[in-house]
Structures are given as C-alpha cells and as structure tokens.
Amino acid sequence: MKARLTAAGALVLLVVWSLSRIGSSTGSVATAEIQPGRFVRDVVAAGTLEAVRTTPIVVPADVEREQRVAVLARDGARLAAGDLVVQFDPYEAQRESADGRSDLASALARMEKAESEGGRNARNYTLDREVAQDGLDRAETFQITDETLFSRHAIIESRLDRELLTRRLDVAGQKIDTSARLSRTERALGEIAAGKARFTVSTADKGLRELRILTPHAGLLVLTRNWRGETTFVGDSLWPGEKIAEIPDLTELEAKVLVLEADAVGLKAGLAAELSIDGRPGAAIPARVSRVEPLAKPRDRQSPVKYFEAALALQKTDPSFMRPGQRVRARILLEQADGVIAIPRGALFEKDGVRVVYRRGPTGFTRVPVTVGRNSISRVVIESGLAAGDVVALRDPSATREAPGAGAARSAPAAP
C-alpha cells in the first residue's frame, strides 16, 4: 500500500511540474515554447491489395449466346494448369441445336418442294403455250378472209379465233414467268430459313464445345465482383466476353486506396507512403504513390461524399502472406519541411481581419501579427512574426475564465 501511495504521489508531482513548465506567468493561460522542427502533413486512407498483372478468365467471345453456370471453382482456391474454373449447363445449347437442325430440315424440304412445284408448273405452262402456239399457227395458215367464198359470220369467227389463240399464248407466257418468279422466291425464302437454322446450329455447337473453361496456368483464383461486391454464383447467366475471374501474379501487388476529397490537397504521384495490412501486425510496408485518378468519385451511389482513388506501388511483396483483396490502411506523406516554426492551430487567432498570436513578454502577453504558410489538421507553419524561443498563448489571454470557449471561438482558420 505504501508503494502505491508513493507512486501516485510521484505521478501527481510530475503532472504539476509539467503544467508549471507550459503555463503562463500567472498560471491562468497555457503556453507553448516555439522551436524550429519538422512539419509533416499526411493523410490516412483505406483500401485493398490488388495484383499489378493478372490473367483474366472470360466467357469465350465466339459462343454468341448466354451461358448458364453449372459448376464454379471456389473463390481463393489454388489451381493447377488445366484445372476446371467453370462449367456451363448444356441443356439450352442442346435444345437450340436440336431446334436448329429441325428448322434446317424444314427449310431444305421447303426448298425442295418449291423446286419440284416450280418445275411441274413450268412444264404445264410450257405445254399450254405450245398448244396455243400450234393453234395460232393453224389459224394463221387457214384463216378465212375471202368475202366472195365465205360468209361474213365465218370471217369474223376466224378473226376472233386468232385473237383468242394470241391471248392464250400471251397468258401462257406470263404464267411461265410468274411461276418462275414464285419458284425463285420460295427457294430464296427457304435459303434464308436454312441460313438462320445453320447459324442457330453453329452457335449452339460452339456453346457445346465451350462448356468447360480451364486455367491457363497455375495460380490463385479470384472471382470477379460486380458493383454490389457479389461474385458469380452457380445458376447465373453470363454473356460472351464477360469476365468471370482472374489469376493474379502474386509477385507484384499494389494497393488501391480511397482518399477523402477534402484531404487530397497536394496528393500526386511520387509521394512516399507506408501501409499496414489489417490483421497482420508488424512493421509498415514502404510504398510510393504511382498514380492518382484525375476525378473524385463517390464510393456509394447513395452517398454524396467523394474520394480520389490512388494506387500505391509497394517496395516489396511477400507472397507468403500478402493476397489480393486484403484490407490495408495507408499513410501518405503529402508534404514535410525541416527547420520551420510551427505552432498549434489553437494558438492562432484572427483580430480585425489580421492573423495574430499572443507572445509572452516580461510584462505579459503581446498581440503579434504573423504570416502563415502551410498547415495540417493540428499545426500551422509561421513564416514571419515569431522566432525560436518565443512563448505563445494557447488561448486568448483576454478571454475570461467564465467563458472557456471564447478564445477557441475566435481562433483563426489557417491559410490554405
């Protein structure tokens, strides 16, 4: 018990001594002594690890039809070259192939029928034309025109017979032309139907040949996620060219992090950074900003808050514990300077439109105008107005103790 009381007393004395070191001469105003040092402005961002190089696995583009997933490899599984990634359900392709072959047979039968009927009609109409031509030739040869030998009635009947046979000959020729056109049209329609059926059969057969997708090489399988963060499931329908998964190269990873738009001032490629992996305590991994997206975008469609996406190139990658998709937290060094005078943000005030600090002198605190430069969340760089060794007040000395928030309310915002 005596040891505990002695330790508590020593702690109280240490706190009292510390407060006396930073307090004002009267002890009513907290102060800080200004010394040149390092100014650092950084930002913390969260994100995930991603592979720099990946081998995409997509639905074959030449299938030309949607495919339904029947078997799918597990996300994160280690596969060897030639292992099954996805197998599609053959039912729809088999049904389309059968329907296409049936349609093709119907189209070929239609073409054969059109050709047969066209040939029969052409022969019949040709015979009609030959009969009409023969009758017309006879009528022309034995026409009655002599009024001295034949009656007027016979002469008129002979002329009408010639006109009728001439009309029959023209009609027979028109029927032959019309029948030929109809036959060609039927054959053309049959060819169109046959082409459509052949295309259906070809597409279905391609789908049947591409029912299995195998890994091109060994590696870790990572299923692709959509905008809702969901992977492909058994029973989903996929379209030609749609990405199913990827096999990342684990020897080189990068971190994709999101930086809040309000904190991204000065964010650019080339800045130093360090990151830690969630759930993996240990030394921070050195990195460097490799690229920054030019436009800020919302992370969620329902939220107006925008973020800049930045890619961090890692100084080293350890495949033994680093995997794509792991959550990381990065600290990006936006700017730093050595040998500058920086004060706590609460020590800067604005009076009559001028930024000032309260410097302690022999007789008390004096208001001193200052010029501010770069700043962070907690500190502001003073470019002129203060010197090393100056002691400044951390709150407005003119504020009464009955209004503890008065000084803070008049604190000046730092210059951008």
Half-sphere exposure of 311 toward its Cβ, with a 13 Å CA cutoff?
A: 11
Q: Is residue 9 helix, strand or coil? A: helix
Alpha carbon distances (Å) from 53 to 22, 246, 247: 55, 10, 9
Strand stretches in 194-305, DSSP E: 212-214, 219-220, 222-223, 237-238, 243-248, 253-260, 272-277, 285-292, 297-298
How far is the C-alpha of 226 from the C-alpha of 240, rounded, in Å?
Answer: 16
Q: Is residue 70 helix, strand or coil? A: strand
Residue 279 amino acid letter: G
Is the CB of residue 169 less than 8 Å from the CB of residue 58? no
Q: Is residue 383 helix, strand or coil? A: strand
* Residue 210: partners with Cβ closer than 8 Å, 6 or more residues away: 60, 62, 63, 67, 88
> Do strands 243-248 and 327-340 pair parallel, antiparallel, or not at all (unpaired)?
unpaired
Lookup: tokens for 342: 């920086």
Evaluate the CA torsion angle 94, 99, 104, 106 in order and state its sign.
positive
How far is the C-alpha of 242 from the C-alpha of 69, rounded, in Å?
Answer: 13
pLDDT band at 22 (very low <50, low <70, confident <90, very high): very low
How far is the C-alpha of 212 from the C-alpha of 88, rounded, in Å?
Answer: 7
pLDDT of residue 293: 93
How far is the C-alpha of 313 from the C-alpha of 308, rounded, in Å?
Answer: 16
Residue 23 pLDDT greater than 80, yes or no = no
Residue in 252, 253, 260 with CA at minimum distance from that of residue 309: 260
pLDDT band at 411 (very low <50, low <70, confident <90, very high): low
Residue 350's CB is within 10 A of a number of other CB atoms, namely: 12
Evaluate the CA torsion angle 34, 364, 404, 19 in order and state its sign.
positive
Is the CB of residue 415 less than 8 Å from the CB of residue 373? yes
How far is the C-alpha of 316 from the C-alpha of 267, rounded, in Å?
Answer: 22
Residue in 351, 330, 346 with CA at minimum distance from that of residue 393: 346
Residue 257 pLDDT greater than 70, yes or no = yes
pLDDT of residue 65: 79
* 3-state SS string for 152-203: HHHHHHHHHHHHHHHHHHHHHHHHHHHHHHHHHHHHHHHHHHHHHHHHHHHH
pLDDT of residue 64: 77
Q: What is the mean pLDDT of residues 120-143?
A: 83
pLDDT of residue 272: 92
Residue 364 pLDDT greater than 90, yes or no = no
pLDDT of residue 149: 79
* Listed range (6-15, 229-238, 275-284, 375-384) with the worst mean pLDDT: 6-15
Is the CB of residue 206 less than 8 Å from the CB of residue 62? yes
Lookup: tokens for 246: 């990827």
CA dihedral 224, 230, 232, 234 (to 10 degrees): 160
Q: What is the mean pLDDT of residues 324-348?
A: 88
Q: What is the residue-averaged pLDDT of the chain?
A: 83
* Listed range (3-17, 186-200, 208-222) with the worst mean pLDDT: 3-17
Is the CB of residue 360 less than 8 Å from the CB of residue 389? no
Q: What is the mean pLDDT of residues 297-314?
A: 89
Residue of higher predicted confidence among 287 and 2: 287
Q: What is the mean pLDDT of residues 207-220?
A: 88
pLDDT band at 256 (very low <50, low <70, confident <90, very high): very high
Lookup: tokens for 358: 């309260």
Residue in 283, 287, 259, 277 with CA at minimum distance from that of residue 323: 277
Residue 225 pLDDT greater than 90, yes or no = no
Residue of higher predicted confidence among 152 and 192: 192
Residue 371 amino acid letter: T
Q: What is the DSSP letter of 284?
A: P
Angle between helices 152-209 and 91-141 (to 10 degrees): 160
Residue 9 pLDDT greater than 70, yes or no = no
Query: Cα–Cα–Cα angle for 172, 175, 176, nearest 5°?
Result: 90
pLDDT band at 74 (very low <50, low <70, confident <90, very high): very high
pLDDT band at 163 (very low <50, low <70, confident <90, very high): confident
Q: Please classify residue 342 by burial: count the beta carbons closer than 10 Å to its beta carbon, then call 0-12 exposed, 13-18 middle and 19+ buried.
A: buried
* Listed range (171-185, 241-255, 306-320, 393-407) with the worst mean pLDDT: 393-407
Q: Looking up tokens 């031509």, which residue turns up?
A: 133
Residue 387 pLDDT greater than 50, yes or no = yes
Residue of higher predicted confidence among 358 and 143: 358
Q: What is the mean pLDDT of residues 51-66?
A: 87
> Do strands 371-375 and 67-72 pair parallel, antiparallel, or not at all (unpaired)?
unpaired
pLDDT of residue 15: 32
pLDDT of residue 131: 85
Residue 194 pLDDT greater than 80, yes or no = yes
Q: What is the mean pLDDT of residues 267-294?
A: 90
Whole-number percent of the chain with pLDDT over 90: 25
